[in-house]
Amino acid sequence: MNNAASTRPVRPVQEVAQAPDWQPQSWQELPALQQATYPDSAALNAALAKLANLPPLVTSWEILSLREQIAEAQEGRRFVLQGGDCAESFDEVCSPLITNRLKVLLQMSLALVHGLEMPVVRIGRFAGQYAKPRSSDNETRDGVTLPSYRGDLVNSIEFTEAGRIPDPERLLKAHYYSAMTMNFVRSLVDGGFADVHHTEYWDLSWVEHSPLASEFHRLTESLGQSLRFMETITGRDVGSLRRVDFFTSHEALHLHYEQAQTRQVPRQWGWFNLGTHFPWIGMRTADLDGAHVEYFRGIRNPVGIKVGPGISREWLTGLLEKLNPAREPGRMVLIHRMGESHIEEKLPRLIRAVQDTGSPVLWISDPMHGNTESTGSGIKTRRFGKVLREMELAFEIHRDCNSRLGGVHLELTGENVTECTGGARDLSDEDLTRDYKSTVDPRLNYEQSLELAMLIVSKHKHNVA
Ligand code: PEP
Ligand code: CO
């Protein structure tokens, strides 16, 4: 999304022509799940018309550069780190939160680059992650029933009648807030954002509490040394080497919003979603004959699909056939989110089914969404041990199937919230009430995120040793 992405020549990814019979609005003929019902359709249309004329958030060449990098990851030459909030909120578009989220992602990526010895593709779950699928259309509290909160893109978290009515103005606000987020992220990355690269500025006080403390110390020490070495040979600080790519992603759930961002550009064929580099299809809307799959069929962005335990082999291979009929490299990313108790039973058959098609995919692991549970007192949480276990199993299962896990997808924040239990500091159920901020799913905090990155590296080192 910056410098490197825009200056490096883009190796043409082999592609075929535009999907036939497809238009940005052709999804409207099919059943669309998880959409908001707006009471005033004239106001909705006015907001969408305005949105369709605003400058886009990303460019076609950045999208094609990401496709190229995903194609390389499919060949085992890159690793993908995708992470950010479950849901962004308008109130949290502010400097410290954006800076800290970027900081933890960059620091994790440096640990991964160093430990896995390959380039890492950084993809934020931000600048557009404003729409949420819900298990029910309505929510009832104390006998009062109102529409469910569907993310800041649609309505307010506030449980009032006025707050829960879908408001089309929010579509424009989401675009403005995404643009502000992107603008700040691009400036931080372009400007060097130097201190995050220096391990002496990392907050590593948690390391002492980990059973792997000495291994983690060795890792940060050797990472620090190699960064200093880079600086010595180039004569510049690593932060100003202007070589950091950063891409954005969100669940493309609200199809009117996505359609308004879907554009044609000069000197390129076909259509691009210019609201994000990497949109994904959520688990609840991946129906083969549904509107979401139809929408994704016609855009040239790389496409993510969440693959849950309920998906069959036929369904998954049907999605590949529909979304990538020409088997183009760099197009498909399968994000499995099985849960640590299901992954061993469910994943191997799916890996083999995809292998049998010969269609190129990048598999990445989301160890968060299959491991959500409620504590005795009803707080939604995730246990760090289970998240880690699913991640480890994912690496092993792919290896045993002669496949490759090429990335991770995490819900995280750069703050020290207490939403997931466990980790080096062994947060307990009681700790959850101390600093629980998420309005949707529980996120790994700063320390747990860095710890997970280091554990991936540690696991990798032991596997190759
Ligand atoms: C999410 O990523 O926040 C989400 C809703 O995931 P899934 O579609 O995998 O449940
Ligand atoms: Co989530």
Give the residue-averaged pLDDT of 192-218: 85
Query: Distance from the CA of 368 to the center of ligand 1, in angstroms?
Result: 9
Residue 440 alpha carbon, nearest atom of ligand 1: 3
Query: Distance from the CA of 272 to the center of ligand 1, in angstroms?
Result: 23
Query: Distance from the CA of 450 to the center of ligand 2, in angstroms?
Result: 19
Q: In this model, does residue 197 exceed pLDDT 90?
A: no
Q: What is the percent of the chain where pLDDT is above 70?
A: 93
- How many Cα atoms within 13 Å fall on the side-chain side of residue 112? 24
Give the residue-averaged pLDDT of 30-45: 97
Question: pLDDT of 292-327, one tens digit each?
Answer: 999 999 999 999 999 999 999 999 999 999 999 999
Specify whether the CB–CB gap between 134 and 150 falls below 8 A: yes
Which of 386 and 201 is assigned the larger pLDDT?
386
- Among the bound ligands, name the one nearest to the CA of residue 135: 1
| Residues less than 5 Å from ion ligand 2, measured at CB | 86, 441
Residue 285 alpha carbon, nearest atom of ligand 1: 8
Residue 129 alpha carbon, nearest atom of ligand 1: 3
**Pairing between strand 405-411 and 362-365?**
parallel
Q: What are phi and psi of 59, to 5 degrees?
A: -115, 160
User: Which residues are CB-neighbours of 124 under 8 A, at least 6 positions away?
Assistant: 82, 83, 84, 101, 102, 105, 185, 246, 247, 248, 249
- Among the bound ligands, name the one nearest to the CA of residue 380: 2
Specify whether the CB–CB gap between 275 and 258 falls below 8 A: yes
Q: What is the pTM (predicted TM-score) of this model?
A: 0.94
Specify whether the CB–CB gap between 328 and 13 falls below 8 A: yes
What number of other Cβ atoms are within 10 A of residue 439's Cβ? 15
Q: Which of 126, 250, 284 to mutate to test the pocket of ligand 1 (most atoms within 8 A of CB)?
A: 284
pLDDT range class, residue 252, cuts 50, 70, 90: very high
User: Any idea which residue has 């075929």 for tokens?
Assistant: 16
- Say how far apart CA 69 and CA 299 lie, in whole Å: 18
Q: Which of 149, 306, 419 to mutate to test the pocket of ligand 1 (most atoms within 8 A of CB)?
A: 306
Superfamily the domain 16-194+244-464 falls into: Aldolase class I (3.20.20.70)
Question: pLDDT of 258-288, one tens digit each?
Answer: 999 999 999 999 999 999 999 999 999 999 9
Query: Mean pLDDT in the chain?
Result: 93
Q: Which of 249, 336, 369, 408 to mutate to test the pocket of ligand 1 (most atoms within 8 A of CB)?
A: 369
- Among the bound ligands, name the one nearest to the CA of residue 443: 2
Atom 1 in ligand 1: residue holding the nearest Cα = 86
pLDDT at 459: 86
Query: Distance from the CA of 139 to the center of ligand 1, in angstroms?
Result: 19
Give the residue-averaged pLDDT of 435-447: 95
How buried is 164 (Cβ within 10 angstroms: 0-12 exposed, 13-18 middle, 19+ buried)?
buried
Query: Distance from the CA of 301 to the center of ligand 1, in angstroms?
Result: 19
Question: pLDDT of 63-112, one tens digit each?
Answer: 999 999 999 999 999 999 999 999 999 999 999 999 999 999 999 999 99
Q: Which of 82, 86, 250, 283 to mutate to test the pocket of ligand 1 (most atoms within 8 A of CB)?
A: 283
Query: Distance from the CA of 267 to the center of ligand 2, in angstroms?
Result: 37
Residue 282 alpha carbon, nearest atom of ligand 1: 8
Around ligand 1, the residues with Cβ closer than 6 Å are: 86, 133, 251, 282-284, 306, 337, 369, 441
User: Reduced to 3 states, what is the DSSP secondary structure of residue 306?
Assistant: strand
Query: Distance from the CA of 46 to the center of ligand 2, in angstroms?
Result: 30
Q: What are phi and psi of 131, to 5 degrees?
A: -120, 135
Atom 2 in ligand 1: residue holding the nearest Cα = 86
DSSP string, 198-245: -GGGS--GGGGGSTTHHHHHHHHHHHHHHHHHHHHHHSS-GGGS----
Query: Distance from the CA of 184 to the center of ligand 2, in angstroms?
Result: 24
Give the residue-averaged pLDDT of 418-440: 96
Q: In this model, does residue 8 exceed pLDDT 80?
A: no
Query: Distance from the CA of 179 to the center of ligand 2, in angstroms?
Result: 22
Q: What are phi and psi of 210, to 5 degrees?
A: -90, 145
Q: Which of 150, 251, 276, 387 to mutate to test the pocket of ligand 1 (most atoms within 8 A of CB)?
A: 251
Query: Distance from the CA of 89 to the center of ligand 1, in angstroms?
Result: 16
